[in-house]
């Protein structure tokens, strides 16, 4: 042994169709039941249970109890970011139906990358924050106008800076091949959008639907009009 990390152990965990489907379904950052994950992975309940056990033992998934129900989620931000990075080099899964093609377009349009916004919508939000001076171009570090821009959304820069999590990180978007904002700021913005119902989750999916209020709110807050985005129209 050379004292390096055991990368093969992680590869073995992810390198199974059912386990990969479970992990992708959990990329929404939410807690999900085993039965819902079985449907997402198109696997039997018993097989799904066995795979969830392996993922838990491998440290990629954790479980919590809600009453009599056991709910599963990605174990950490680091696991979620690893999965997003792997998708940058993974080949696209074959699409064999109109339903699959529509699902892929909607996933590109707007989704959660664990706990922050991604896809065309996430990039639009990131670009808007840069344009308003809340983030610096290239580095995506906090800009001089961060507090003034974020306060109307109920996001406190001071609170983010006092937290243990990095305030801002740049996460490479696997569909757009550009960085979107993550870290504490990315999570806080996504949480605010969900609370205001500017975006709504799709069942057992990391995909999001942008509401009419969300499109209007984004334009009012950051001056970003989704209908002006060629990428947004292409992903519709």
Q: Are 176 and 120 in contact (CB under 8 A)?
A: yes
The upper half-sphere exposure of residue 54, i.e. CA atoms within 13 Å in the direction of its Cβ, equals 18
Q: What angle (nearest 5°) sits at the alpha carbon of residue 191, between those of residues 188 and 192? A: 85
Q: Where are the beta strands (DSSP E) in the chain?
A: 32-33, 61-66, 69-74, 111-113, 116-118, 169-172, 179-182, 199-201, 208-210
Which pLDDT band, with edges at 50, 70 and 90, does 129 fall under? very high
Burial class of residue 122 (count of CB atoms within 10 Å of its CB; 0-12, 13-18, 19+)? buried
**Model confidence pLDDT, tens digit, residues 166-213:** 999 999 898 898 999 999 999 999 999 999 999 999 877 788 999 999
Q: At what angle do helices 98-109 and 119-131 cross, to 10 degrees?
A: 20
Structural domains present in the chain = 7-75 (1.10.10.10), 98-234 (no CATH)
Using the predicted structure, report yes or no on whether residue 3 has a pLDDT greater than 80.
Answer: no
Alpha-carbon distance of 135 to 26, in angstroms, equals 28
Average pLDDT over all residues of the chain: 89
Q: Are 181 and 140 in contact (CB under 8 A)?
A: yes
The upper half-sphere exposure of residue 130, i.e. CA atoms within 13 Å in the direction of its Cβ, equals 16
Token pair for residue 175? 């569909």
Q: Are 224 and 189 in contact (CB under 8 A)?
A: no
What is the model's pLDDT at position 5? 80
**Model confidence pLDDT, tens digit, residues 65-78:** 877 889 999 998 88
Q: Are 33 and 71 in contact (CB under 8 A)?
A: yes
Alpha-carbon distance of 228 to 117, in angstroms, equals 19
């Amino acid at each position: 042994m050379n004292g390096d990390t055991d990368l093969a152990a992680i590869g073995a965990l992810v390198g199974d169709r059912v386990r990969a489907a479970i992990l992708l379904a959990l990329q929404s950052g939410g807690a999900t039941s085993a039965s819902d994950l079985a449907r997402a992975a198109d696997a039997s309940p018993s097989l799904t249970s066995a795979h969830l056990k392996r993922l838990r033992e491998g440290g990629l998934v954790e479980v919590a109890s809600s009453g009599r129900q056991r709910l599963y989620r990605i174990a950490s931000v680091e696991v979620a970011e690893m999965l997003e990075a792997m998708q940058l080099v993974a080949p696209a899964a074959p699409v064999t139906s109109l339903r699959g093609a529509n699902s892929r377009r909607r996933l590109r349009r707007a989704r959660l990358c664990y706990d922050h916004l991604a896809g065309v919508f996430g990039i639009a939000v990131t670009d808007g924050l840069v344009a308003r001076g809340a983030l610096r171009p290239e580095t995506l570090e906090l800009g001089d106008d961060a507090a003034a821009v974020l306060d109307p959304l109920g996001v406190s820069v001071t609170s983010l800076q006092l937290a243990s999590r990095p305030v801002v990180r740049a996460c490479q978007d696997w569909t757009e091949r550009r960085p979107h904002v993550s870290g504490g700021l990315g999570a806080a913005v996504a949480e605010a959008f969900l609370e205001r119902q500017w975006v709504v989750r799709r069942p057992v999916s990391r995909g999001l639907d942008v509401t009419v209020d969300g499109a209007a709110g984004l334009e009012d807050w950051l001056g970003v009009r989704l209908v002006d985005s060629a990428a947004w129209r292409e992903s519709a």
